[in-house]
Amino acid sequence: MDWCRYRFRSVWRVPAAPAAVYAVLERAEDYPSWWPQVREVVPVDDRTGTARFRSLLPYDLVVTAEARRRDPVAGVLEIGMRGDLDGWARWTLTALPEGAGTHALYEQEVEVRSPLMRALAVPGRPLFRANHVLMMRGGRRGLSARLRASPPPV
């Protein structure tokens, strides 16, 4: 087992239509306004930006993200990442039955490149996984609140 590789999968049930959820998720530069653990997103160009995030552990991770796929019809947003984490992340959005909202699947496969996290790979793994769970919980809550406060036009 490579202790520096992670595969994450989160499923969110979001009380809004897929197009509305997509409209919020595609604007990564706005994430810090609704996702507490995303501390900063700085666009570099129309496909690339840097992001800094931190959850419960007192340690920031910084990545450069590049858009790989933006498909509003299929409800897919995918990025490649490099920096403290190398790999990819993807949102796949589908409608729940009878207009009950959106099934938002988040998948991520990364290898840790941060020297500190690599040094703590074995003893820190349970903490790093728990940290990710807390970050995703904050994101789900923030997204739902953002959609309630000002639904994007679709």
3-state helix, strand, coil in the chain (%, to 5): 35, 40, 25
Residue 139's CATH number:
3.30.530.20
Neighbours of 143 (CB within 10 A): 21
**Within a domain: 12:** yes
The predicted structure's pLDDT at residue 125: 95
The predicted structure's pLDDT at residue 1: 77
**Within a domain: 114:** yes
* Interval 59-85: pLDDT, tens: 999 999 999 999 999 999 999 999 999
Positions of the chain with pLDDT lower than 70, given as ranges? 151-154
Q: From CA 55, how far away is CA 127, in angstroms rounded? A: 11
**Within a domain: 153:** no
**Within a domain: 154:** no
The predicted structure's pLDDT at residue 151: 60
**Within a domain: 47:** yes
Q: From CA 88, how far away is CA 61, in angstroms rounded? A: 15
**Within a domain: 83:** yes
Domain around 74: 5-148
Q: How far is CA 138 from CA 83, 133, 134, 142, 146, in A?
A: 23, 9, 6, 6, 12
> Crossing angle, helix 18-25 and helix 121-149, to 10 degrees?
120
Going 117 to 120 to 122 to 123, the CA torsion angle's sign is negative
Total-model pTM:
0.94
The predicted structure's pLDDT at residue 154: 52
**Within a domain: 14:** yes
State how many domains the chain has.
1
Contact 63, 50 (CB under 8 A): yes
